[in-house]
Structure 1
Amino acid sequence: MLAGYTRFSEWYEALDFVHLMLNTIKDLDHVTLSLMLNVSAGLLDHEMGKKVHGYIYRHDLHSNLMVGNALLDMYGKCGNLNSARVWFNQMSNWRDRVSWNALLATYGNHHLSEQALTIFSEMQWETKPTKYTFGTLLAASANTFSLYLGKQIHGFIIRHEFQIDTIIRTALVYMYSKCRCLEYAIEVLKGAVSRDVIIWNTIILGCCHNHRGKEALELFGVMEAENIKPDHVTFHGILLACVEEGLVEYGAKCFKSMSNEYCVLPRLEHYDCMIELYSRHGYMDELEKFIKTMPIEPTISMLTRALNACQKNEHARLGEWITEKINEFQH
């Protein structure tokens, strides 16, 4: 049961189950303790993690590799980098690739790309990197906009002849896109033997990140030609591209096609894009019809954006309706 809750990130349900379990079971094995540490990490509950760590020491389970890696992951996700590093050093006699990757993820997730690169250098004295290692480092490069680090990792992969599979290729596309090197990202995409919806979504959103909406739409056309079925992420990128390029009619057509042709139900972000599309480009009649017939309640952010458009375009009727809606939120 506990494993099921953690697998689907149902952290509060997992925590309730932990409390129930502790009332009936006194002796906890390494698997249960590892899962409890996963719950602590998922909830960012550092205090709970420390209590589990105390139990582990008292029952001499700290040298179990599964438990050790779970502890390392917990400290990292809870933001305690010092404890993560101290514990990693204490694991020196039994740590493995998973341990190194967990430490790399800790520094990468906290935007410490230079430290992550140093750890990567240290790692090579002890074990070989995996595709997860490269994915972690490339994500760190992207999140800190560190093109230097990203190129270092890409070069390492090529020099050491690691296979660039779909996961690593997608990470490279994401990194180059985030670091404003869209041409590099497109070249990496072109080198793929097969391309799934995830890598297509990555490059389409990358184009939007770089304000290159026209290219995003062109790539969407290539994606469709390859018979890759778009999902909700794809359409989010397409609508962002339409906002960027001012393609109101095409954006509306794509929005309708989501459910009519592709069986993809629009989500909050898609409605948000449509309101931005109509508002930014002054399509006030379309905006009024859209916002009043939405099957979900518009958010304050949506209403505020639409109200600004009403003021700019002197659309009093819709402006009054939106003002009433905003007042309802505030009361």
Structure 2
Amino acid sequence: MKGKFDGNARVHIVEDYEAALPFLSDPRFIVPDLGGFLERLEQHGQAGSFRYLRLFVEHSPFFLEGAQHKTLRGIASQYFSHRALKRWEPFILDELQGIVDALDVPEFEVVSAVGARIFTRVAKPILGLAFIEDERFDVLVMGLQRLVEPMQSLSRLRRMNEELGWLLDKVASGVGSGHACADGVLPRLLADAQSPLSLEGRMALAVTLYAAMAPLAQTVANVILRLCERPTPSPFDADRFIEDIASHIHGAVAPHYVHRVALEDCRMGDLSIGRGDTVMIDIEQAVLLPAADSGTALRSFSFGHGAHYCLGAVMSKFIIAALIPRLLGRFGHLTLVRKELDINNHIANALGTLVVRGRA
């Protein structure tokens, strides 16, 4: 899906796994430098201040390279490790079961009744942000994933700067009034006396990590759609599903692309790339499938690659592997009733609506 990027000579879409690897290891290609772009805009007085956007970009591993990226990953990774998952596992399983149990009718809308609830009832408490009971907060945070989209308009960047200021104020108000959660990522960040981050920086990091869970909610809906559209054994084989989890996730993963930007003019294979050009690796197409009976694993960029590999990959796989057997265990089989894509989302394979019917 190329959409708005069709015909743009400065955007190069790569659809081959082996051809994509050099872009992810060559130091001439970096993650999109949104922070540098905002700084240049401010220096030239073209758009006023982007204080909140810069604050969030400076505390988002997705937009950083080098020392700051390493520092933030080091801080954040401890909250999404296998050890951290073990600590949260009982809570996650209990919430997932509650989400499935709440589907008290044979026909239900997946995006709101399953995907959104994973975001707000599972991810949000883990991030320590459950004290903010405001639907607008969750909607705006989920929309932050669109910051990685190339070719943002100034008006959109200004609007996002205002929205980020509002988000930060909601977090700060709860922290300042003593209403913040006692557990989760945010309170642990705030309690870390050795943290190199400012108070605002710690709050921004917690919100950023919450936003990074949005693709999980979208991917869950996509996995359910795939199960509706493809024949599944009856009864549902949970062990086989878990065994093939990498394939299921790759076929349903929400992000369309892995983005990199060229620091200089260069030639990569058949592509002539200019300084500042964007390379977009098509996650769906750039995959290396295992040969039959080879014993090798599927290789893809579903969770990114290398230093920018997804921090939440372990937790995301666990949640999907735990949810789907519970869902199919209750309904036996799911039939598609209606689906609508989120046509305004150019960087993710996201559904706006997915209605399915279960059969017990």
**Fold conserved between structures, TM > 0.5:** no
Would you tell me which structure has more helix in proportion to its own residues?
Answer: 1
TM-score by length of 1: 0.23
Bigger radius of gyration? 1
Indicate the structure whose relative CO is greater, using CA pairs within 8 Å and at least 6 residues apart: 2
